Amino acid sequence: MDVVQIMSKELLKGAKMLGEHCEKCGTPLFEKDGEVYCPICKIKGNEKKTEYISKLNEGNRQEEILEDKINYLLERLKDENEVSRIIEIGKALEILLRVKELIEK
């Protein structure tokens, strides 16, 4: 989307174009509901936020968590002598390993 498109979109939303310009990018500032903003920087700010969130959700992070848990369970398993607990841990491990496999694909 180019600047003109973004600005006309703001105008259509009922925003008012002001005589002042954005310090960062020089785009005319807009005002709506008492809020003065730069439509370009606003969009860029939002993009950064969603980018950050999607980074957090990326496979790497999930894999890290899974590996942590798998290691924890393996440690527990090592010291566990009660059959029912071993089965429980084994089941949990199986689930985690399956999820890990799904993520890695």
Point out which residues bind Zn ion (CB under 5 A): 22, 24-25, 27, 38, 40-41
> Could you give the dihedral angle defined by the CA atoms of residues 24, 26, 28 and 30, in that order, rounded to the nearest 10 degrees?
-10
Nearest CB to Zn ion, comparing residues 28 and 93: 28
Give least dist CB 51 to Zn ion, A. Answer: 18
Give least dist CB 22 to Zn ion, A. Answer: 3
Give least dist CB 44 to Zn ion, A. Answer: 8
Nearest CB to Zn ion, comparing residues 29 and 89: 29
Segment (H or E) for 32 = strand 28-32
Report how far residue 103's alpha carbon sits from residue 62's, in angstroms, rounded to the nearest whole number: 8
Please list, residue by residue across 34-62, b when 16 or more beta carbons sit within 10 angstroms of its beta carbon and e when fewer do: eeebbbbebeeeeeeeeeeeeeeeeeeeb
Give least dist CB 24 to Zn ion, A. Answer: 4
Report how far residue 97's alpha carbon sits from residue 66's, in angstroms, rounded to the nearest whole number: 8
Nearest CB to Zn ion, comparing residues 11 and 95: 11
Nearest CB to Zn ion, comparing residues 39 and 100: 39
